[in-house]
Structure formats: structure tokens, C-alpha cells
Amino acid sequence: MTAQLYLDGVERSFDGFKAITGLSLHVRKGELRAIIGPNGAGKTTMMDIITGKTRPDKGEVFWNEKVDLTKTDEAGSARLGIGRKFQKPTVIESLSVEDNIGLALKTDRSVFATLFARQTPAHADRITELLHLVRLADERARPSADLSHGQKQWLEIGMLLAQEPELLLVDEPAAGMTDDETMRTAELLRDLAGTHTVIVVEHDMEFVRALNCKVTVLHQGRVLAEGSIDHVSANPEVVEVYLGR
């Protein structure tokens, strides 16, 4: 196996209900991958398994070939470089944009020490770099409360990047965004691929198309189809279960 993230034959039931059944997923280092599927397909459970929030009943989950993720927990997977961005932003609204990033850069320290710490030049450079990356360089001094919903999502991605993850799991980043923000988010995630492995769970098909990457369609806890967006959307089974046409 040469995948950075390798799931094979994964199963997970909840009270006898099979949420994940024979799931295999292989994602290469630096790859951008979109995961789509109807409600209840098992997308959240899959991400819970990757991050060690949930343990599979069966199957293999490996990270960088050697690390068995079925034996880790959420804190452990974060230490290994697996970062997860949930849908709901958790930015601290009373802080400026740059202070939110600054805080995220120092989350290994106590919050009080962090808030009153002097910023080193290297730290300031890294904040600037991250703000450019997430399209917020012009907003750095603004209170985070003033940001649009989309900008808050980008800030959250910046805060996650401050932890220097190797893999980013991003849950429905385009939900609630304007069309312009949606397209800029697709660009941002494409920029991150290469230097990061990025897995995006998403419903918005226009957004998935703009990601221009391999798509995995989940249904009933397993992979129904995989390939380009054109390839999977031409699959009659996918059309039936997901697109509903």
C-alpha cells in the first residue's frame, strides 16, 4: 500500500445498524479528494474513524503505512498531523482575525500565557503567511465578529493550518456560502493540495466540480463509485441514489 491514508474492509455498526460496511478508501499524500453521498451514507462516521473518535468493528485504517489509526483517539490523530475542520466555525469572535491565528499557533501553551505573550518575528511572519493563504490578509486587524460567514470558514481553515496538519478533513466548507465565496474556497483547497492531503466532504456539486479532483461516492457505508465528477455523475447507480434523477 502506498496511500498516506489507507482504509480497507472497514465496518462499524451502531446497535446492530451497519453504518459502515466494507469501506475501502486510499488517499495519496498531497491528494485532494472529495467525498460525496446522501444523508446517512456514512461520511461522518468515516471521518470519526479516521480521527479516532470512533473505532471500527473490523478492518484496517493506516496512516503513513505504519501507524494503526484504529488504536488512536482524537488527540492522538491530531498529534499525528490529522486536522479536522467541522462545519460550525469556532473562531473567537471578540478577537481580531490575526489574534485568532496567533492563538491557534500557540495552542500547546496555556490560553492566558498565549494571550499576553509577545509575538516573535517568526510568529508574525507565519501569521502573515497563513492570512495570505486563507485570503484574509486585508482583514487581519478586523474583529472576527465582523467577518462574513465564508470568511469565518477561511479563518477556521487558517487556524487549522497553524497546527501544521499533514491531512485536512474538511466538512461541508461551502455550506451557507455565497457563490463567489464557494468558488474561492475551492481555489483555496486546491492551493493547499500538494503541500497537504485534503479530504473534503461536500454536498454542493458545483463546488465539487470546481475542486476538480477525484470524487468518492459513499452509499450505505461503502464506496459506490470513484473517479472524476463526470465519471461518477454518469454512473446510473449514483444518479439514482445521490442525484435523485
List residues near ligand ADP by CB under 6 A: 14, 17, 19, 37, 39-45
State which residue, 36 or 155, has the beta carbon closest to ligand ADP.
36
State which residue, 92 or 205, has the beta carbon closest to ligand ADP.
205
70-106 CB burial, b ≥16 within 10 A, e <16:
bebeeeebbebbbbbbeeebebbeebbbbbbbbbbbb
Q: Which grid cell sits at 116? A: 499576553
**Residue 189 and residue 187: Cα distance in Å, rounded?**
5
Contacts of residue 239, defined as CB under 8 A and 6 or more positions apart, other chains included, come to 233, 245
Q: At what angle do helices 149-161 and 179-192 cross, to 10 degrees?
A: 10
Least separation in angstroms between CB 17 and ligand ADP: 6
Least separation in angstroms between CB 27 and ligand ADP: 17
Q: Are 100 and 89 in contact (CB under 8 A)?
A: no
Q: Which grid cell sits at 131? A: 492570512
State which residue, 40 or 143, has the beta carbon closest to ligand ADP.
40
State which residue, 45 or 151, has the beta carbon closest to ligand ADP.
45
Q: Are 242 and 217 in contact (CB under 8 A)?
A: yes
Q: Which grid cell sits at 19? A: 453504518
Least separation in angstroms between CB 41 and ligand ADP: 4
Least separation in angstroms between CB 237 and ligand ADP: 17
Least separation in angstroms between CB 13 and ligand ADP: 9
Least separation in angstroms between CB 165 and ligand ADP: 21
82 bridge partner residues: 167
State which residue, 77 or 100, has the beta carbon closest to ligand ADP.
77
State which residue, 17 or 112, has the beta carbon closest to ligand ADP.
17
What single string gives the DSSP state of each residue in 165-230?
-SEEEEE-TTTT--HHHHHHHHHHHHHHBTTBEEEEE---HHHHHHHTSEEEEEETTEEEEEE-HH
